[in-house]
Chains A and B, each alone.
Chain A
């Protein structure tokens, strides 16, 4: 099973709202990733967790707050977002950080109004 699940599939939120995106994998992978993807662009890396520790934060604004409660779960907490944050947010996992292929979830389509 190479499935990464993400919820919700779609999310519309106002600039003052607080919401969370969730990601789950049961492949025993020890690295998990958040990407942001704008239309007609490749995914941009936001955060990397390796063995449940934050390894990389690609200078992401503090209105995005990641959390890794356990080795199977990854959350992205959203607060006070801007309209330009509207995008497809993708979660991925891999056996180990930077080695091995990454498996992606279906994404959450986020619209900030």
Chain B
């Protein structure tokens, strides 16, 4: 069974600082990987996705993530945090073969300090 581990349930950064949210996956077959963001009392919004091809994926709101097969990682980064980035972030995975449903990590709450 595949799983997703998000290191750190809560990350706090200063406004303008680098944002790094960590995600590691376990999958015996090639994965499709996703990052979602959830603002308070809202649904999940797709930030970016990795399916095949380029391993550095750019998403919305200035976020990007890099798929590293050797490290089984898909960390989310943003060069400069903005107050509006404060939210809950979920990493999720499905297998490329499509034989498992979407599996979410436990989430990381990002706080941005002025």
**Interface residues, chain A, CB within 8 Å of chain B?**
2, 4, 6, 40-43, 45, 48, 56, 88, 90, 92, 96-99, 101-107, 109
Instruction: Compute how far the CA of A107 lies from the CA of B107 in the bound complex, rounded to whole angstroms.
Output: 18
Q: Per a CB cutoff under 8 Å, which of B44, B90, B94 touches A98?
A: B94
B99:A98 contact, CB within 8 angstroms: yes
Q: Is the CB of B101 within 8 A of A42?
A: no
The smallest beta-carbon distance between B18 and chain A, in angstroms, is 25
Taking the closest CB of chain A, its distance from the CB of B72, in whole angstroms, is 19
Check if A43 sits within 8 Å of B94, measured CB to CB.
Answer: no
With A90-B43, A106-B42, A109-B41 known as contacts, the answer to whether A101 contacts B104 (CB < 8 A) is no
Q: Which residue of A lies closest to B90 (CB)?
A: A42
18 contacts between A and B (CB under 8 A): A2-B46, A41-B107, A42-B104, A42-B107, A45-B102, A56-B101, A97-B98, A98-B94, A98-B98, A98-B99, A98-B100, A98-B101, A98-B102, A103-B46, A104-B43, A104-B45, A104-B46, A107-B41
Q: A45-B101, A98-B99 are in contact. Are A104 and B44 (CB under 8 A)?
A: yes
**Residues from chain B with Cβ under 8 Å of A40 in the complex:** 107, 109
